[in-house]
Amino acid sequence: MKTATIQVNKSYKIGKISDRMFGSFVEHMGSVVYNGIYEPGHPTADGRGFRQDVLELVKELQLSVVRYPGGNFTSGYHWEDGIGPKESRPVRVDPAWRQIEPNTFGLNEFMEWTREIGADPIMTVNLGTRGIEEAKDMLEYCNFEGGTTWSELRKSHGIRQPYGIKTWCLGNELDGEWQIARKTAAQYGQLALETAKVMKWVDPSIELVAVGSSARHMSTFPEWDRIVLEHTYDHADMLSLHHYIGKRENDTPTYLAMPMEMERQIEEVIAACDYVRGLKRSNKVMYLSFDEWNVWREPDIEYTPWQIGCPYDWVKFHMEDALVFGSAMLTLLRRADRIKIACQSLLVNTIPMILTEKGGKAWRNPTFYPFLHVSRYGRGEVLQSLVETPKYDTAKYTDVPVVDPVAVYNEETDELTFFAVNRGAEAALLKLDIRDFTGYAFREHIVLKHDRLNAVNTSDNPYEVKPQAGSGETVDGGRAEAVLDPYSWNVIRFQLNRS
Ligand code: AHR
């Protein structure tokens, strides 16, 4: 059996994992909102149209933040269309996704829904077709105490207290030719700067995310980031990154290695941030908001344009996707020193963690589980680990670690957790050196695996891919071992033995 080793020490820390690392994304896209989280008339829907079956699944994930309302949708959106009495809200065409937007779910419904799940909102303003004034009005509606047109309008809608929404994205992917009202870096940088100034004058307590390159393959990457930051460095608090990992050829080893590209992207964006920091002789560190990340594969259902809530990218992820997804999450954790926000994209029905049928069931995609595990057991500090693992090469990637591990230490709960993906077709023995954690005992080993890498969960068979107990663990004087099954996602938990 191949062997990998990992050695950790309590005091060698990369950084505290921000709670906002466990975020997701709700966009007015396909059936994320309509026939997803919101479906009046569904047997489980409450009086507000919120599907309770979906809510229960979402609550399991313990999301800390949810980004809204897009995405590409935002760049043509009028947020005012989604407030006030539903019967007088306009029905619009959404050119971004070629869908009909009925506006029966808007800002206030979203705020109620996030309160239900105990998450904070991340709001995106339209810097595509709109600009400073609308962003200011929206902020005033949401966060201003009272006595002004927009804040009084909010009160007239029954929301007496300001929402105090803290995090605002200054638009979305404005470098993309698919974006409504794409801009050059200089145009966007200038607009973002002026919008940021005004928004912070209205509410100095907010934090702002400037739009970084929407993908590493963009020809403008990372020049876009440099130029945007040169404009906004003093006013923005974070720069955004997006990354979707898709299997391009029928080549599992290459697909499993693809999160390494995400790692490179993070390093390169940090380099752009730090370059501008140097240019400005600034003391400020620019943090990252990885506000869209996920795996991706071709959808199962063909999209029909100009519908309300037609499934778009309604993907039943395979077991294999869950492994890549898990590695992507670990990639984010390893840069907990710079990444302060991360949003899996999207929560329901579009490349989702949760699938729904209109009028029917809701169930978990296999990617649900790595997210659930890291959200449950990955709170604390990421440890700087000494890792030795066999490696492999593909045509595209060299030195790909067969075992991809991360260690998280939670000082408050006295828990030490190892997450590890075995990218190999054979079982691997993971040797854990935890001698610095005197008195810690093995608690459990959770494994996500399946004999078939293309196994999926369906509405009739929702538990085909599900976590199970691992085997082959031994602990002896600060040294532990666990067997990582072929192509598996693993969570190995230790806790201080208080007895
Ligand atoms: O799949 C979600 C979309 O992907 C978002 O709207 C956009 O920001 C990204 O291109």
Ligand 1 atom nearest to CA at 173: 8
pLDDT for residue 499: 75
Residue 178's contacts (CB-CB under 8 Å, 6 or more residues apart) are 72
Q: How confident is the model at residue 477 (pLDDT cuts 50, 70, 90)?
A: confident
Give CA separation, 250 vs 62, 351, 401, in Å. Answer: 34, 19, 20
Q: Which residue has the tokens 């699938």?
A: 355
Among 80, 101, 292, 415, the one annotated catalytic? 292
- Antiparallel, parallel or unpaired: β 400-401 and 207-210: unpaired
Q: Which residue has the tokens 């752009």?
A: 272
* pLDDT tens column, 320-356: 999 999 999 999 999 999 999 999 999 999 999 999 9
Rounded to the nearest angstrom, the distance between the alpha carbon of 344 and the centre of ligand 1 is 11
Atom 6, ligand 1: which residue's CA is nearest? 71
pLDDT for residue 122: 98
Rounded to the nearest angstrom, the distance between the alpha carbon of 479 and the centre of ligand 1 is 44
Question: Active-site residue 388, yes or no?
Answer: no
Q: Which residue has the tokens 């029928």?
A: 250
Confirm if 185 and 175 have CB atoms less than 8 A apart: yes
| Section 20-32 average pLDDT | 98
pLDDT for residue 471: 81
Whether ligand 1 lies within 6 angstroms of the CB of 30 is answered as: no
Among 109, 140, 173, 320, the one annotated catalytic? 173
Atom 5, ligand 1: which residue's CA is nearest? 71
pLDDT for residue 365: 98
Whether ligand 1 lies within 6 angstroms of the CB of 71 is answered as: yes
Does residue 490 register a pLDDT over 80?
A: yes
Does residue 472 register a pLDDT over 80?
A: no
Threshold 0.95, pTM exceeds: yes
Which residue among 26, 173, 217, 346 has the greatest number of ligand 1 atoms within 8 angstroms of its CB, and so is best to mutate?
Answer: 173
Ligand 1 atom nearest to CA at 244: 4
φ, ψ of residue 325 in degrees (nearest 5): -60, -45
Q: How confident is the model at residue 474 (pLDDT cuts 50, 70, 90)?
A: confident
Ligand 1 atom nearest to CA at 70: 6
Ligand 1 atom nearest to CA at 74: 6
Confirm if 121 and 291 have CB atoms less than 8 A apart: no
Q: What DSSP letter does each residue of 3-66 carry, written as one string?
A: EEEEE--TT-EEEEPPGGGSEEE--SSTTSTBTTTB-TTSTTB-TT-BBHHHHHHHHHT--SEE
Strands of 403-410's sheet in order across:
13-16, 381-383, 403-410, 415-422, 488-496, 440-448, 468-469
Ligand 1 atom nearest to CA at 214: 10
| Section 140-150 average pLDDT | 98
Whether ligand 1 lies within 6 angstroms of the CB of 213 is answered as: no
C-alpha 194/C-alpha 171 separation (Å) is: 13
Rounded to the nearest angstrom, the distance between the alpha carbon of 214 and the centre of ligand 1 is 9
Which residue among 77, 172, 315, 347 has the greatest number of ligand 1 atoms within 8 angstroms of its CB, and so is best to mutate?
Answer: 172
C-alpha 121/C-alpha 291 separation (Å) is: 12
Question: Active-site residue 173, yes or no?
Answer: yes
Q: Residue type for 310, please? A: C
Rounded to the nearest angstrom, the distance between the alpha carbon of 245 and the centre of ligand 1 is 13
Give the DSSP letter of residue 176.
-
Report H helices in 280-391.
319-334, 368-377
* pLDDT tens column, 443-457: 999 999 999 999 999
pLDDT for residue 301: 85
* pLDDT tens column, 260-285: 999 999 999 999 999 999 999 999 99
Q: Find the helix packing angle between 52-60 and 107-117, rounded to 10°.
A: 50
Can you say whether the dihedral through the CA atoms of 62, 65, 71, 74 is positive or negative? positive
Whether ligand 1 lies within 6 angstroms of the CB of 291 is answered as: no
pLDDT for residue 249: 84
Report H helices in 300-412.
319-334, 368-377
pLDDT above 70: percentage of residues in the chain: 100
Confirm if 285 and 354 have CB atoms less than 8 A apart: no
Angle among Cα 107, 113, 114 to the nearest 5 degrees reads 90
* pLDDT tens column, 349-405: 999 999 999 999 999 999 999 999 999 999 999 999 999 999 999 999 999 999 999
* pLDDT tens column, 68-109: 999 999 999 999 999 999 999 999 999 999 999 999 999 999
Nearest alpha-carbon partner for 405 in 425, 429, 438, 426: 429
Does residue 406 register a pLDDT over 80?
A: yes
C-alpha 324/C-alpha 120 separation (Å) is: 27
Name the average pLDDT for the chain.
Answer: 97
pLDDT for residue 498: 81
Nearest alpha-carbon partner for 126 in 151, 91, 86, 94: 94
pLDDT for residue 300: 80
pLDDT for residue 5: 98
Rounded to the nearest angstrom, the distance between the alpha carbon of 316 and the centre of ligand 1 is 18
